[in-house]
Amino acid sequence: MIEDRHIDLIHAELDGELTSEQRAELSRVLLANPEVRARRDELNRLFGVLAKVASVEPPHDLATSVLQAVGLEAKATRDPAARAGFRGTAWYTPTLLRYAAVFVGGLLASAAVLQLGSRGGSHLDVSQLVGTIGGHDLAAPEAPIDRIELDLAQVSGSASSYVVESVVVLELALSARQPVEVVAVQGDRSVSFRLAARLGEAPEQLLWVAGDAGARELAIELKIFGSGTLLYEGALETFQAK
């Protein structure tokens, strides 16, 4: 015979909500009562079926339509960097996109600066920031101000901070072995994006135009989450002491 309390314990166990005393009680009941064991197996199978229902990718224009409706342009979703998984706030923020872009080509082997001449412009296509820069003047490569090398089980690669023409830029080159969420914060600005697991592929290279000269002395805080757990927390300097 199964008591209601036993059923409650089985559900609570599979829901991960048992106290240690309840766990001990359930263990005793499971040992003694085959009916309870059978009921638990049955419930466990239901959990298994539900766990196999895959999460669905939201429509690609969902976020864009919401942002447009509230008066925020959603250019990021149209951009190559966004399609690669970038979840940015600053790509299209006019005050941040005043001068510079950095061309990422092969782990930033050559950091190039180009004058976009868009100071005060309200919209800037991010495709100008990442990708081909043919036709623009190139500046000399710059060394990062700070750099973090990551070699975690879930994600590896590097994060580097630059100041390009008074603009603070965070460059990430990351390979995820399982889905991770990256959050970067500098002062009152933040960005968050997800990286899908891409085994055996080259690192995904992403840029965030973090802040302007006024924010230069603020470090960029970097956090990486996997399955809701903090995997990494660190900070990148954005100011080089003379």
What does the binding site for another protein look like in residue numbers (CB under 8 A)?
7-8, 11-12, 15-17, 42-43, 45-59, 62-63, 65-67, 69-70, 72, 74, 76, 87-90, 93, 181, 183, 185, 188-194, 223, 225, 228-230
Q: How far is the CB of 220 from another protein (least distance, A)?
A: 14
Q: How far is the CB of 141 from another protein (least distance, A)?
A: 29
Residue 55's alpha-carbon distances to 14, 51, 115, in angstroms, are 20, 10, 42
Nearer to another protein, 162 or 193 (CB): 193
Nearer to another protein, 189 or 216 (CB): 189
Kindly give, in sequence order, each residue whose CB lies less than 8 Å from that of residue 46, ignoring residues fewer than 6 positions away.
Answer: none
Q: How far is the CB of 217 from another protein (least distance, A)?
A: 19
Q: How far is the CB of 188 from another protein (least distance, A)?
A: 6
Beta-strand ranges (E) seen in the chain are 146-151, 155-164, 167-176, 180-186, 189-195, 204-211, 220-226, 229-236
Q: How far is the CB of 242 from another protein (least distance, A)?
A: 31
Contact in structure between 9 and 24 (CB atoms under 8 Å): no
Q: How far is the CB of 90 from another protein (least distance, A)?
A: 6
Nearer to another protein, 32 or 54 (CB): 54
Nearer to another protein, 25 or 142 (CB): 25
Nearer to another protein, 32 or 49 (CB): 49
Tokens, residue 38:
């059978």
Nearer to another protein, 15 or 21 (CB): 15
Give the chain's length.
Answer: 242
Q: How far is the CB of 184 from another protein (least distance, A)?
A: 10
Between CA 103 and CA 141 the distance in angstroms is: 10
Q: List alpha helices for the chain, DSSP H.
A: 4-14, 20-32, 34-51, 62-69, 80-83
Nearer to another protein, 55 or 134 (CB): 55
Farthest CA pair distance, the chain:
81
Residue 70's alpha-carbon distances to 61, 92, 96, 134, in angstroms, are 14, 16, 21, 36
Within 10 A of 135 (CB to CB), how many other CB atoms are there?
A: 6
